[in-house]
């Protein structure tokens, strides 16, 4: 694939901006505003809608970049379910990374289950970080819609004030309302309506992509959990053997100490009992 193909980071914003500008030039933006009830197409509203379309297309194209990766991960997991030997540890896939860690942990005598759990947590974190910008763009869509509504209403108020300055009677007021206020209100709310609708579409695409990615991670984890469950019981590591021996020796010494304390207590009790009886002492050592 070309170095500047559709998976390049700059492809989505450049293509989204170009398509949005073409829609603006071709009059499709104005037609879109009219389709949501706008009777006029103010310049401010048209520019903001063009920006909203550019952001929407950028977001969708960024989300679409993960579709080949999702399919590749699904195919790799399906091959691993059939035969783990078909997985190459050097591949950049979920199952390949887990297989490599699984083998290294088994060779080093480490806890493979803990290692695979840490790898799964890292994959979840990487997936969340990868879509931070996409979530920010989706959040920005309705914000741009409100900005467009505010700009359109500001232009409406300015035009209405100018009309009142020229003519101050009631008939002129009604005419200014019909000419400058009501049509501009429809255009202002049309901008927000378009932004909200596109943000819902982008959020739906984002949710589907994240669901597929999490399903791939769960499938890879389940596959290797099955392999862990089929492993024979692990032998006790030498370090654990040494620790067990030390604990046994310590327990033996503790038992001996307890026996000595019991003997000392018995001797003390015997001396206490014999302390009340008269004792016979002699200065001649018995032969």
Instruction: Give the residue-averaged pLDDT of 57-66.
Output: 92
Do residue 44 and residue 149 come from a single domain?
yes
**What pLDDT shows up at residue 138?**
94
User: Domain containing 271: what range?
Assistant: 238-275
Instruction: Give the residue-averaged pLDDT of 168-190.
Output: 69
- pTM as predicted: 0.70
Task: Name the least confident of 12-16, 169-173, 194-198, 203-207.
Answer: 169-173
Give the span between the Cα atoms of 36 and 197, in whole angstroms.
Answer: 11
**What pLDDT shows up at residue 49?**
92
Do residue 54 and residue 190 come from a single domain?
yes
Give the span between the Cα atoms of 73 and 95, in whole angstroms.
Answer: 8
Do residue 182 and residue 59 come from a single domain?
yes
**What pLDDT shows up at residue 199?**
94
Is the Cβ–Cβ distance between 210 and 128 less than 8 Å? Answer: no
In a domain, 75, yes or no: yes
How many domains does one find in the chain?
Answer: 2
Phi, psi of 254 (to 5 degrees): -65, -40
Tokens of 145: 């819609």
Do residue 129 and residue 206 come from a single domain?
yes
In a domain, 1, yes or no: no
In a domain, 282, yes or no: no
Do residue 259 and residue 142 come from a single domain?
no
Is the Cβ–Cβ distance between 213 and 124 less than 8 Å? Answer: no
| Cα 77 from chain centroid (whole Å) | 21
Do residue 112 and residue 249 come from a single domain?
no
Task: Name the least confident of 100-114, 158-172, 245-259.
Answer: 158-172
Do residue 100 and residue 150 come from a single domain?
yes
Do residue 253 and residue 183 come from a single domain?
no
Give the span between the Cα atoms of 251 and 275, in whole angstroms.
Answer: 36
Do residue 134 and residue 183 come from a single domain?
yes
In a domain, 5, yes or no: no
Radius of gyration of the chain (CA): 40
**What pLDDT shows up at residue 102?**
74
Do residue 167 and residue 211 come from a single domain?
yes
**What pLDDT shows up at residue 275?**
58
Do residue 218 and residue 102 come from a single domain?
yes
Do residue 195 and residue 247 come from a single domain?
no
Is the Cβ–Cβ distance between 208 and 214 less than 8 Å? Answer: no
**What pLDDT shows up at residue 149?**
85
Tokens of 100: 């490599």
Task: For residue range 88-104, list pLDDT tens digits in order.
Answer: 767 778 888 877 777 77
Task: For residue range 20-57, list pLDDT tens digits in order.
Answer: 999 999 989 888 888 887 777 778 888 999 999 999 99
Is the Cβ–Cβ distance between 159 and 184 less than 8 Å? Answer: yes
In a domain, 148, yes or no: yes
Check whether 285 has a pLDDT greater than 50.
Answer: no
In a domain, 182, yes or no: yes
In a domain, 38, yes or no: yes
């Amino acid at each position: 694939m070309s170095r500047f193909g559709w998976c390049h980071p700059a492809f989505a914003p450049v293509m989204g901006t170009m398509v949005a500008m073409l829609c603006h030039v071709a009059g499709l933006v104005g037609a879109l505003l009219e389709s949501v009830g706008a009777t006029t197409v103010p310049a401010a509203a048209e520019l903001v809608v063009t920006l909203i379309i550019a952001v929407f297309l950028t977001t969708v194209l960024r989300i679409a970049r993960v579709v080949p990766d999702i399919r590749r991960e699904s195919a790799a997991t399906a091959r691993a379910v059939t035969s783990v030997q078909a997985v190459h540890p050097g591949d950049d896939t979920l199952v390949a990374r887990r297989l490599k860690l699984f083998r290294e942990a088994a060779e080093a005598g480490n806890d493979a289950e803990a290692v695979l759990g840490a790898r799964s947590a890292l994959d979840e974190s990487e997936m969340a970080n990868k879509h931070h910008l996409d979530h920010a763009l989706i959040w920005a869509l309705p914000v741009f819609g409100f900005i467009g509504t505010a700009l359109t209403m500001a232009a409406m108020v300015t035009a209405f004030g100018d009309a009142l300055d020229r003519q101050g009677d009631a008939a002129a007021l009604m005419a200014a309302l019909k000419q400058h206020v009501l049509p501009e209100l429809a255009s202002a709310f049309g901008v927000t309506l378009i932004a909200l609708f596109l943000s819902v579409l982008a959020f739906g695409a984002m949710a589907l992509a994240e669901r597929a990615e999490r399903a791939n991670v769960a499938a890879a984890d389940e596959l290797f959990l099955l392999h862990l469950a089929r492993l024979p019981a692990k032998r006790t590591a030498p370090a654990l053997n040494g620790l067990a021996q030390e604990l046994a020796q310590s327990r033996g010494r503790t038992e001996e100490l307890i026996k000595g304390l019991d003997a000392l207590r018995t001797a003390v009790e015997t001396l206490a009992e014999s302390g009340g009886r008269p004792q016979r002492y002699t200065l001649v050592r018995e032969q």
